[in-house]
Structure 1
Amino acid sequence: MAALSSSNSFASTFVLFVLLFTFLPAFSNAQLSSTFYNTRCPLAQTAINSAVLQAVAAERRMAASLIRLHFHDCFVQGCDASILLDEQASATSERDALQNRDSVRGFEVIESAKATLEGLCPGVVSCADILAVAARDASAAVGGPSWTVKLGRRDSTTASRDEAERDLPLFTSTLQEHISNFAAKGLNTRDLVALSGSHTIGQAQCFTFRDRIYDDGSDIDAGFAATRKSTCPAAAGNGDSNLAPLDLVTPTLFDNVYFRNLIEKKGLLQSDQVLFSGGSTDSIVREYNSNAVTFRADFANAMIKMGEISPLTGEDGVIRRICRSLN
């Protein structure tokens, strides 16, 4: 019996080894690579960069919108361009999720880049990869860091509004909710604070910060709150969509002033201010406030990590020819 058991064990191990050896090349070919399009579409990143620079030149705020669009894509089903599918393509469009409705922007920039790429190399470059490159180029366009984007993502054929509403951060999120949310995606507290630093650019709608600026018990600088009240009426439903810059000091420049704002209790959103409220992330906020170089490096590294959340690669997914539809 012992000899038979040993023989069976050897045979099982041998079969497993053969299977692993056989399929190893397939796994290797499915990995993301910075040179993925070098042969099949060498002008891919140049075309995307051109579309981004044109859009940001026309509207500086678009840089923040493109970074946010990539983030909101990756946190739902992974980095698969599912956020780009409209309601005609998907009955559960992520665009309709609470965290995205009437706020997520930049679709036309991605479609513009995609149209150009379809002319250069039809059916080659995925919408998911365009999102990743566009976010990098948007950061650089407003003075932020750049980084090497690994490519080879493919596009999903599904979207999930339910998953979007479950996994995307809310403007009311607590620190622990943030930490748990990011940890579920393989991101640590340092990634959380660094990525939140993208709020050094961009704007927020009145309804997202009304309660904070009108709450007398809120941990907010009184003068800062008074300034924001001028464009955000107290009554709900009145001026809900009025915009205010997340960083009042340098609203269109990617820098580390956001962290100084938090230390001074001038975070516009409660979900930002919780990063500096006596919790475990206070020290990271202080570090980024005093060292812009460290913040920029950590932001770039966190964007790389985020951009590699559960991508579809190899034969999984599709390459959409129009990003908003299942063509």
Structure 2
Amino acid sequence: MAASTSHSFCSSLAIVVLAVLVIFTGSSSALSKNHYSKSCPKVFTAVQSVVQSAISKQPRQGASLIRLFFHDCFVNGCDGSVLLDDTSSFTGEKTAGPNNGSLRAFEVVDDIKSKVEKECPGVVSCADILAIAARDSVEILGGPSWDVKLGRRDSKTASLSAANSGVIPPPTSTLSNLISRFQAKGLSTKDMVALSGAHTIGKARCVVFRDHIYNDSNIDSSFAKTRQNKCPRTTGLPGDNKIAPLDLQTPTTFDNYYFKNLISQKGLLHSDQELFNGGSTDSLVKTYSQDVKTFYSDFVKAMIKMGDINPLTGSSGEIRKNCRKVNN
């Protein structure tokens, strides 16, 4: 009898421990690569066709879609909240400091959602669309591919204050700030450097790199002068929105030139050059600059890991019919 009672107690304790583990490890384990295999088997071809078309018309859209995914995941998890327009009950994330006038490709997401809804209405979340579109953008522009974990649901609200709280590292960040911001999201220093490699594509506005090209000393002088020709020193003028490629050599190809540029002190942003400035990440930048396969491998692992940040699953949230607004 005592043995039976002991066995029953141990079984109950095991169940409690397992439940606690599930709570503290989050719900990312609920995500799976085959989440839509039966409910929406054509989701991948639908997303890819729209992303391919958008990039063909404007290659910069690929970088914009990757950035949307990053900015979504860093603010309250990968829940599609960054896509919500303001309403009478909340002010969303679009006008937050890190996003306002900076995030793009919302119309591309609208087009993707429209096509996916025709294939399988009310099944695929906007949060998952961002994850797939980011992967497709990398692959279409010449980078690696990977199996995207899916099953996220969409937030019913968004928070301007959360997006403004400093969780998204600004382009003025120091290395220690970058490391701590990523660590706060469960991402290692290696993850941070690898994810920064997404700056091998896309462009930035003068207003975010002006201080670096005029005031920093850890920058190649000829590179600084070239950028100064397109970015006036005076702030508050139309020049603020002039853009320059983050990677001068191959701005529309996902490769490792970003890291090669850092070694030559040709990082466009202050935060970029911080990765190779006599600090703890110098050796990793050297590795990635010489070994594109290692960069790709670490980038893929980091993207999958980032996609696991606090997703809504199960009965949480909803599957939005329109990525810009919650369902009625």
CA distance in 2, matches of 1:154, 1:16: 31
Question: 1:107 Cα shift?
Answer: 1.0
- Of 261-270 and 106-115, deviating more is 106-115
CA distance in 1, matches of 2:71, 2:37: 28
Where does residue 195 of structure 2 map in the other structure? 195
Render the CA deviation track for 1:110-129: whole Å, top value 9, x for unaligned.
11111112111111000000
CA distance in 2, matches of 1:98, 1:260: 30
Q: Does the 8 A contact of 2:27 with 2:311 survive in 1?
A: no
Question: After TM superposition, where is structure 1 displaced by more than 3 Å over at least 4 residues in a row?
Answer: 6-30
Question: 1:87 Cα shift?
Answer: 1.1
* Structure 1 portions without partners, runs of 5+: none
CA distance in 2, matches of 1:77, 1:181: 14
Q: What is the number of residues matched between the two proteins?
A: 322
The residue matched to 2:204 in structure 1 has which SS?
strand
Q: Does the 8 A contact of 1:30 with 1:313 survive in 2?
A: no
Matched residue type, 1:267? G
Question: 1:88 Cα shift?
Answer: 2.4
Where does residue 285 of structure 2 map in the other structure? 285
Where does residue 65 of structure 2 map in the other structure? 66
Render the CA deviation track for 1:2-21: whole Å, top value 9, x for unaligned.
xx9x9998876554456678
Q: Does the 8 A contact of 1:32 with 1:152 survive in 2?
A: yes
- 1:271 corresponds to 2:306: no
The residue matched to 1:244 in structure 2 has which SS?
strand
- 1:235 corresponds to 2:234: yes
Where does residue 261 of structure 1 map in the other structure? 261
* Structure 2 portions without partners, runs of 5+: none
Change (3 A) 1:89 1:51: farther
- 1:176 corresponds to 2:169: no
Question: 1:214 Cα shift?
Answer: 1.3
Change (3 A) 1:130 1:223: same
Cα RMSD (Å): 2.6
Change (3 A) 1:120 1:204: same
Where does residue 102 of structure 1 map in the other structure? 101
Q: Does the 8 A contact of 2:28 with 2:310 survive in 1?
A: no
- Of 131-140 and 151-160, deviating more is 151-160
The residue matched to 1:240 in structure 2 has which SS?
helix
TM-score, scaled relative to structure 2:
0.92
The residue matched to 2:67 in structure 1 has which SS?
helix
CA distance in 2, matches of 1:25, 1:164: 27
Q: Does the 8 A contact of 2:275 with 2:282 survive in 1?
A: yes
Matched residue type, 1:275? L
Q: Does the 8 A contact of 1:30 with 1:314 survive in 2?
A: no
The residue matched to 2:244 in structure 1 has which SS?
strand
CA distance in 2, matches of 1:223, 1:87: 43
The residue matched to 1:274 in structure 2 has which SS?
helix
CA distance in 2, matches of 1:17, 1:310: 25
Matched residue type, 2:124? V
Render the CA deviation track for 1:205-256: whole Å, top value 9, x for unaligned.
00111111112x5211100000001110111112101001011111111110
Q: What does residue range 40-55 of structure 1 map to in structure 2 within 5 Å?
A: 40-55=39-54
Question: 1:262 Cα shift?
Answer: 0.6
